[in-house]
Amino acid sequence: MSILLGYGIGSSCAMNLRQVEVFRVVMTNGTTARAAEVLHISQPAVSKMIQELERSLDFDLFHRIKGRLLPTAEGQLFFREVEQAFLGLTHLRGAAARIRDYGSGELRIACLSALSTNVLPRVLRSFMDRNPNIAITFQARMSSNVRDLVASGQFDLGIVADEIDRTGVEVQPFTQFRVAIAIPEGHPLEALDVVHAADLAGQPFIALAPEDTTRREAERAFEIAGITVRTVIETPYSTTICSMVAAGIGVGLVNPLTAEPYIGQGLTLRPFEPALHFRTLLITPPNRLPSLALEAFIEELKRAVA
């Protein structure tokens, strides 16, 4: 290595990293002859670099007694500093290896609630098994909040519903899930193989938030069917709909994945007609290329829903 460190010691010239390395090898091996063997250079070359380092430092590193080098007190103090510096270099090599292999050693992911209890835990487990050195920060939020976290650069990836404001983020389609109708166990609609929009006339209905794309599609389906549902609760979360349905409060349109833990726990699912879908997007901060780690995580996500 012949890199100049680019700073001076005292009134002297810049210190050469190769000279420091040679000094360290002499200190750890005891003699210039042994250092020369370790470094695969000649003994005179070792002696010359030690002398040049001493000139740059403006103090002696060794006493020269009968052809032997004995460290001075200053040399011992300097050696301790050198060891600390080389520990730092070892850390930098490790950091460089992590960056080479993974890009950033950290991922910050935010996700809409509907996928936070099913798809994401499975993907995170698989990804972390393959990449144990990557630290993960994960938050489940409303899609609008996820969008703001990603747009501001606080998070690297967002998984959101498709009704978000798409300005200020990079967007790619992720996946869609066909809507099912969640019904309390023992409800009369449980007898149907398929529930149609017209079957919900007058039923107590637990609705998604007004801005939700799926809710707006459902309202059009109800209008076409010529019926009115009786909305008793509004919530932005499919998990909340499932909990309310399981408690017997009403029926609601949900993502089947979200409903999985509730099936047989007070809730029954039936197919719903006409076909409606929950559509999700992947969003990333603008003008930022994804790290290798983020690319690997996105691939893992896509495999999970393929």
Choose from 31-35, 76-80, 134-138, 184-188 the range with maximum mean pLDDT: 184-188
pLDDT, one tens digit per residue, over 89-111 is: 777 776 676 666 555 578 999 99
Domain end position, chosen among 39, 70, 102: 102
Residues 115 and 96 in one domain: no
Residues 87 and 170 in one domain: no
Q: How far apart (Å, rounded) are the C-alpha atoms in residues 180 and 38?
A: 71
Q: What 3-state DSSP class applies to 117?
A: coil
Residues 253 and 294 in one domain: no
Q: Which residues contact 65 (CB under 8 A, 6 or more apart)?
A: none
β-pairing, 68-71 vs 14-16, is: unpaired
For residue 10, give the CATH number of its domain.
1.10.10.10
Residues 291 and 148 in one domain: yes
Residues 236 and 185 in one domain: yes
Residues 33 and 83 in one domain: yes
pLDDT at 289: 85
Q: Which conformational region is residue 244 in: left (phi greater than 0), alpha (psi within -120 to 50 degrees), or beta?
A: alpha
Q: How far apart (Å, rounded) are the C-alpha atoms in residues 181 and 127?
A: 32
Residues 21 and 96 in one domain: yes
Choose from 57-71, 123-137, 266-280 the range with maximum mean pLDDT: 266-280
Q: Domain total for the chain?
A: 3
Q: Which residues contact 235 (CB under 8 A, 6 or more apart)?
A: 206, 207, 208, 209, 241, 244
218, pLDDT greater than 90: yes
160 pLDDT band, cuts 50/70/90, is very high
79, pLDDT greater than 50: yes
Question: Which residue shows structure tokens 């909040």?
Answer: 145
Residues 56 and 138 in one domain: no
pLDDT, one tens digit per residue, over 173-197 is: 999 999 999 999 999 999 999 999 9
DSSP string for residues in 135-195: EEEEEEE-HHHHHHHHHTTS-SEEEEETTS--TTSEEEEEEEEE-EEEEETT-GGGG-SSE
Taking alpha carbons only, the member of 144, 24, 137 closest to residue 78 is 24
Residue 2 phi, psi (nearest 5): -135, 50
Q: What 3-state DSSP class applies to 14?
A: strand
150, pLDDT greater than 50: yes
Contact predicate 19/66, CB 8 Å: no
For residue 136, give the CATH number of its domain.
3.40.190.10
Question: Which residue shows structure tokens 């403006």?
Answer: 58
Domain end position, chosen among 68, 102, 136: 102
pTM of the model: 0.63
Range of the domain at 248: 180-275
Residues 123 and 187 in one domain: no
Residues 193 and 243 in one domain: yes
Residues 284 and 138 in one domain: yes
Taking alpha carbons only, the member of 218, 232, 250, 240 closest to residue 113 is 240
Residues 95 and 132 in one domain: no
